[in-house]
A = this chain, B = another copy of it.
């Protein structure tokens, strides 16, 4: 049983419309609130060698990235921390606070508990006007498919390219990029936490069109053999870049570091250099 099968079970109970985007959306007067929650814990989410400050930073980054992917401005984070050792709380909180500060947000509260295994749930709230929100749905045939930054750096670090350790352990959520993309007409968007391939298939699920991607257009990690670099860009997780679509006459805002990696197509499928792309990346599976 994989994570997505479980999600479908939950969707049947709470309503499928509440499981489509990176964040929940609700209205508050003339604005929209977006809200999201992420659970991370020691054995599966924090690579060996991370400091507690980096753990706190990463927990905040993951949530801020979800908010950014809706085109929203992050406002506050709440941190629920299940501690195996009470002396860790200071550095974890400082790391999360520093990541929030960089994004113009702050930690507004939380909960502390004792736990056998360090477990952190970061929940965030952002705000956006109805005309600037970007959802997973909205891609149109003929749009360009784009990503921010370089893909595969976090996985490159795990593969032993230590020049990328900092990208893995201190991911910088694309907060200002997400807001700019919302204001300049991105048609659909999500973040790439589990790798490009899985993200494209998630995007596919929310749209009736499809996506055609080209290997040679992928921004991949320098200093890695070409085939491995491409595989990292396609299937590596942990990058927290943004995957988005824009009209093909879109005028990019100055200073945005992004790459066009393909096109939105009519057929409801994902193509890689013309063939159906394998759906793989980081995904938790349970034993039966």
Determine the chain B residues whose CB is within 8 A of the CB of A44 once the complex forms: 113-114
Interface of A is mostly: strand
Determine the chain B residues whose CB is within 8 A of the CB of A89 once the complex forms: 6, 9-10
Contact A38 B76 (CB under 8 A): no
Contact B29 A31 (CB under 8 A): yes
Q: Which of B39, B78, B82, B94 contacts A24 (CB 8 A)?
A: B78
Q: Among residues 65 to 124 in chain A, which have CB atoms less than 8 Å away from a CB atom of chain B?
A: 75-76, 78-83, 86, 89-90, 93-94, 97, 106-117, 119, 121, 123
Contact B113 A116 (CB under 8 A): no
Most central of A26, A36, A121 by chain B CB within 10 Å: A121
A39 to B90, CA, bound (A): 18
A2 to chain B, nearest CB (A): 9
Known interface pairs A35-B78, A109-B37; A29-B26 also in contact (CB < 8 Å): no
A15 to chain B, nearest CB (A): 8
- A222 at interface by CB-CB < 8 Å: no
A264 to chain B, nearest CB (A): 26
A34 to chain B, nearest CB (A): 10
Q: Which of B31, B38, B121 contacts A28 (CB 8 A)?
A: B31
The bracket for how many chain A residues form the interface is 35 or more
Determine the chain B residues whose CB is within 8 A of the CB of A286 once the complex forms: 83, 86, 114
Determine the chain B residues whose CB is within 8 A of the CB of A125 once the complex forms: 26, 33, 35, 125
A13 to B112, CA, bound (A): 14
- A3 at interface by CB-CB < 8 Å: yes
Q: Mark A12-45, 1 if CB is under 8 A from B, else 0.
A: 0111001100011110111101011111110010
A212 to B49, CA, bound (A): 53
Determine the chain B residues whose CB is within 8 A of the CB of A9 once the complex forms: 89-90, 93
Apart from A10-B89, A121-B121, list 7 A-B contacts with CB within 8 A. Answer: A28-B127, A35-B125, A37-B110, A37-B123, A41-B113, A78-B123, A115-B117
Q: What would be 30 A-B contacts, judged by CB atoms less than 8 Å apart?
A: A6-B83, A6-B86, A9-B93, A13-B94, A14-B97, A14-B106, A14-B108, A18-B107, A26-B108, A28-B33, A28-B127, A29-B30, A33-B33, A33-B125, A35-B109, A35-B123, A35-B125, A36-B78, A36-B109, A37-B37, A37-B80, A37-B109, A37-B121, A37-B123, A38-B80, A39-B113, A39-B119, A83-B286, A116-B116, A121-B121
